[in-house]
Structure 1
């Protein structure tokens, strides 16, 4: 198959890559996608999807433990860790196979192997360079093999991997990344989680619900540092009630490994230190782009802090070469990668398309309680010079939340006092990851507080709190 020419070649089949490939094919472009490990990338195989399966098991286990609160009885409640992991891997495997089907349906060629840019408009594909990147699943039938391929447009969508702190390198035994944390051979009695971003907090929430003693160490002054401080504080308080311990403005400076345990030396901002002993340490200190061994340096591609530099349409400084998703920088989210890829390919096809507005990319953390947000936090809005109106509505004031037995939470909205523009929305509580899209749509349509106030929300639903929060920003709330 060597020497095949395409209109578009995409390197990487994660959410950004495969979505871009489908849109490319829809636009009539001859398209190929290169994958070295498994269709669907990290998100589908080791990230977004399997973690949600684990968290769902934890949620059901939590409800079983609290059956009495709902007038029900459930005795001798327990779990099988291997079965929980098996379900998670099964969900991932089912969707993994679906990506191959979508490629075939849309007539996208799959090239199996590791790609390297050899010159503008050309790649060579060979065997994966590291043993860790051998395919995890059988190669799809009909895939193209190793060789040289050319394309008018090449899109790099190689994703990211866990960031490694020197001296605290993961060893798959005592120090885990999300790879190992997702498939524990048995449930540890205790863990230390290093980092309180979405990955760290989701694993902290999962393991605590399953009965593990959990301590989270975070360098910043609040957990989930990108979230609104008020929302973060409420989430922290709820998690502390569940038994999660937090050490803020601190870092893990050293890890000593013992027989079946680790001892982490934690240094705080004020110069004090403490030792925390646990069975495992999960390193969740962010991710870095997969930019190595692609041939970027040889082509003179501009990079910054481990990511490829692009413009609003995914274009690099090298004509005909593009990048999307995690490898192109933050926010490192699957839905950002997908949308960025669609913008990139539609611009290539000559469609009239707007560049990405990163202020309208929602963020979701699937811990207990859930956290979701879009737009500016209250401090960010004030720092940007806005005079703001802030609305708040607690879950305790909502009939559906009380009926669900989920009365803890808050919906917070931030408006420009001058124009009524919705600047940001921030939520903590049950199912807020499903609610946030309403505010994302509202921001995209440039609605004002008046538009939202005149929108009819169904009753009884959690979504009513969204309107109440808007009303509260203008001193018109009905139910508080």
Structure 2
């Protein structure tokens, strides 16, 4: 006999486990199905452990530049790769245990095993308890995604890595090729560069981090180049030959010239593939390149079947998945008769993006170019960190904040940052956009002094020709 629930969540990443918690908070009998580790890729192999790695690289960078702050450190400063990785894995383990606690606290039943849909609201789980049959009034698919392989050089974990291999490297690369300059590629390029590796980044498009504002891309490329990284834009890797000693890559540069270069290791960061095959979705949901098509609340074409996170259309970000998880949980509760919940569809224009390279980058909304393409007449302003007292005092005067407004209404269309701790600062503009703020409210907001966030205020003033410190 099948075990029955109000809601079953298939997948326990930042979308799945948050959806399960919100369902439980709303009084729904909830179960979660997970084939590997609670917390999913983000917590165990993505967002969190990579930030632990990057933090180690950041501390190493500061130690190597201690003299810039009037300090002397005796002896040679070097990285212990094994210890760095061990710390990262420890952070992931701690958070995995935290999610396990949250499942118990919220009385969510966990079924460990491989889940396969047998209908919109039923599935089987093959795992530690053999085969279980589960049914529910509603099912949420939150199966996430995985790294895309190069067709001519599949990741082997030895010489050709995905992000997962790059987090637990068997050895420190001496000469590293990173294919792709999105968030994942640039973060690992930055980490290994700070750790002392010779890094080359190859990007097919005409600039790195191509989803960002072009001013941010240009600034970041210059900064990374000054740090010793080699950047090739408008270039493509045409072939890779793997040997026991390394990889030989055939690269066509922006001028059409092809050459072969040898590297010890290669990281592929060329996108993701949704984990939606072989789980019974074929007749239950509309698909586009493997991604489950949903409405603003997570509904699929089958009644009772919902989907959230990286197995649905982008942006493919953990915080987007978590937000979708809450929205979908509340939409389900509403369908089940809860009159006290009022879910709102996700507004993709207000989803921030953060990349934790050195320097960091963060953004929300439209770039200046995209705003103009959309027909807006814009006012855009930039304020450099060199004009900010706190940034200078911290020794972090590299960076800027840029804001884009609709010149007719004053609506904040987008904000773009590069520099120290901008991934923490961007939320101020995200709140502003969500509240549909204009330049007037931002200009009249008092920012604390001395903080780097004052650069946010100054960038708004600069958009209207009123900057005070440049």
TM-score normalised by the chain length of structure 1:
0.95
Quick check: 1:295 aligned with 2:280? Answer: yes
Q: Which residue of 2 aligns with 1:37?
A: 36
Q: Which residue of 2 aligns with 1:358?
A: 348
What is the alpha-carbon distance in structure 2 between the residues aligned to residue 318 and residue 154 of structure 1? 10
Secondary structure of the residue aligned to 1:220 is coil
After superposition, the C-alpha distances for 1:399-446 in whole angstroms (9 at most, x for unaligned) are 000000011101000000000000000000000000000000000011
Q: Which residue of 1 aligns with 2:71?
A: 72
Of the candidates 137, 140, 164, which is equivalent to residue 149 of structure 2?
164
Secondary structure of the residue aligned to 1:50 is helix
What is the alpha-carbon distance in structure 1 between the residues aligned to residue 35 and residue 242 of structure 2? 33
Residues 18-33 of structure 1: matches in 2 within 5 Å? 18-33=17-32
Q: Which residue of 2 aligns with 1:208?
A: 193
Q: Which residue of 2 aligns with 1:452?
A: 442
Deviation at 1:273, TM superposition (A): 0.7
What is the alpha-carbon distance in structure 2 between the residues aligned to residue 121 and residue 434 of structure 1? 40
What is the alpha-carbon distance in structure 1 between the residues aligned to residue 114 and residue 152 of structure 2? 29
Quick check: 1:198 aligned with 2:183? Answer: yes
Deviation at 1:187, TM superposition (A): 1.1
Q: Which residue of 2 aligns with 1:177?
A: 162
What is the alpha-carbon distance in structure 2 between the residues aligned to residue 293 and residue 102 of structure 1? 29
For the 8 Å contact 2:120–2:284, the answer to whether it is kept is no
Deviation at 1:145, TM superposition (A): 6.2
Q: Which residue of 2 aligns with 1:189?
A: 174
For the 8 Å contact 1:389–1:415, the answer to whether it is kept is yes
Q: Which residue of 2 aligns with 1:92?
A: 92
What is the alpha-carbon distance in structure 2 between the residues aligned to residue 459 and residue 224 of structure 1? 31
What is the alpha-carbon distance in structure 2 between the residues aligned to residue 452 and residue 79 of structure 1? 43
Q: Which residue of 2 aligns with 1:134?
A: none
For the 8 Å contact 1:289–1:329, the answer to whether it is kept is no
Structure 2: gaps spanning 5 or more residues:
335-340
Of the candidates 397, 407, 414, which is equivalent to residue 404 of structure 2?
414
Deviation at 1:165, TM superposition (A): 2.0
Q: Which residue of 1 aligns with 2:136?
A: 151
What is the alpha-carbon distance in structure 2 between the residues aligned to residue 158 and residue 421 of structure 1? 37
Deviation at 1:352, TM superposition (A): 2.1
Residues 188-337 of structure 1: matches in 2 within 5 Å? 188-297=173-282, 299-337=283-321
What is the alpha-carbon distance in structure 2 between the residues aligned to residue 152 and residue 365 of structure 1? 39
After superposition, the C-alpha distances for 1:13-63 in whole angstroms (9 at most, x for unaligned) are 000000000000000110000000000000001000000000000000000
What is the alpha-carbon distance in structure 2 between the residues aligned to residue 274 and residue 217 of structure 1? 13
What is the alpha-carbon distance in structure 2 between the residues aligned to residue 269 and residue 235 of structure 1? 19
Q: Which residue of 1 aligns with 2:418?
A: 428
Of the candidates 386, 394, 402, which is equivalent to residue 376 of structure 2?
386
What is the alpha-carbon distance in structure 2 between the residues aligned to residue 362 and residue 99 of structure 1? 24
Structure 1: gaps spanning 5 or more residues:
128-138
After superposition, the C-alpha distances for 1:290-317 in whole angstroms (9 at most, x for unaligned) are 00111011x3421101211111010011
For the 8 Å contact 2:119–2:284, the answer to whether it is kept is no
After superposition, the C-alpha distances for 1:166-200 in whole angstroms (9 at most, x for unaligned) are 11211111100011100112211110000000000
Secondary structure of the residue aligned to 1:434 is helix
For the 8 Å contact 2:381–2:461, the answer to whether it is kept is yes
After superposition, the C-alpha distances for 1:94-137 in whole angstroms (9 at most, x for unaligned) are 0000101000000100011011011231100013xxxxxxxxxx
Deviation at 1:269, TM superposition (A): 4.6
What is the alpha-carbon distance in structure 2 between the residues aligned to residue 165 and residue 290 of structure 1? 17
Range moving further from structure 2, 40-49 or 345-354: 345-354
For the 8 Å contact 2:324–2:346, the answer to whether it is kept is yes
Deviation at 1:268, TM superposition (A): 3.0
